[in-house]
A and B are shown apart, each in its own frame.
Chain A
Amino acid sequence: AQTVTQSQPEMSVQEAETVTLSCTYDTSESDYYLFWYKQPPSRQMILVIRQEAYKQQNATENRFSVNFQKAAKSFSLKISDSQLGDAAMYFCAYRDSGGYQKVTFGTGTKLQVIP
């Protein structure tokens, strides 16, 4: 079974600084998808960024980028120029590409942004 590990329950960053949230996963598959979701206090789940395992190029979305290391099974999220609105829970998620497309989430990292 696939597992997703987020080893940092909480992190903090100064406004305008850069922070990296870690995520590792375990799978025997070669093709899959990875996602980062943000959950602000409103408890909505919002997609931040996604990565297809077959793509070597790291995904970027404005101030958000990932460092995808397939061999190491690592998928970290970098947030540049942190803003107060970035304060939230961040969840890493793995999704099978074929078959039944089961989804596995990590336990989350709570990010605090300090003014």
Chain B
Amino acid sequence: EAQVTQNPRYLITVTGKKLTVTCSQNMNHEYMSWYRQDPGLGLRQIYYSMNVEVTDKGDVPEGYKVSRKEKRNFPLILESPSPNQTSLYFCASSQVSNQPQHFGDGTRLSIL
């Protein structure tokens, strides 16, 4: 089954404790992306990647890191999480160009 898998689905943690949200896709997609969703703000792109070792900043990259060492994986790293990073996070993948993105089920992060 074609899918984008994010883990964990839910996480409550404390300020400053490094965390990683994993994302994996099994569709051999070149393009992968991370979004955060906040009430009234829609989805905002954090980082995206056109292919292995090719990443670029989206609209809200501050406080986040990503890496793309393998085509299928695109982890999101919060080195020193802060409460303003409490949000719903989505990973997505697609072929490039006009293809729609396939989204993971989302990760609800709460940072106290």
Given contacts A43-B88, A45-B92, contact A103 B100 (CB under 8 A): no
Interface of B is mostly: strand
**Residue numbers in A under 8 Å from B43 (CB-CB):** 91, 93, 105
B: number of interface residues (CB 8 Å): 25
Max chain B Cβ within 10 angstroms of own Cβ: one of A50, A52, A103, A107? A103
- A63 contacts partner chain B, Cβ-Cβ < 8 Å: no
Max chain A Cβ within 10 angstroms of own Cβ: one of B41, B42, B45, B58? B42
In angstroms, Cα B42 to Cα A22, docked, is 15
- B44 contacts partner chain A, Cβ-Cβ < 8 Å: yes
**Residue numbers in B under 8 Å from A7 (CB-CB):** none
In angstroms, Cα B43 to Cα A6, docked, is 12
**Pick the contact of B105 from A9, A43, A95 — CB < 8 Å?**
A43
Given contacts A91-B43, A104-B45, A107-B40, 4 further A-B contacts (CB under 8 A): A44-B106, A97-B98, A105-B45, A107-B42
| A-B CB proximity, top 3 nearest | A45-B103, A107-B42, A105-B43
* Interface positions of B (Cβ within 8 A of A): 31, 33, 35, 40-45, 48, 50, 56, 58-59, 88, 90, 92, 96-98, 100-101, 103, 105-106
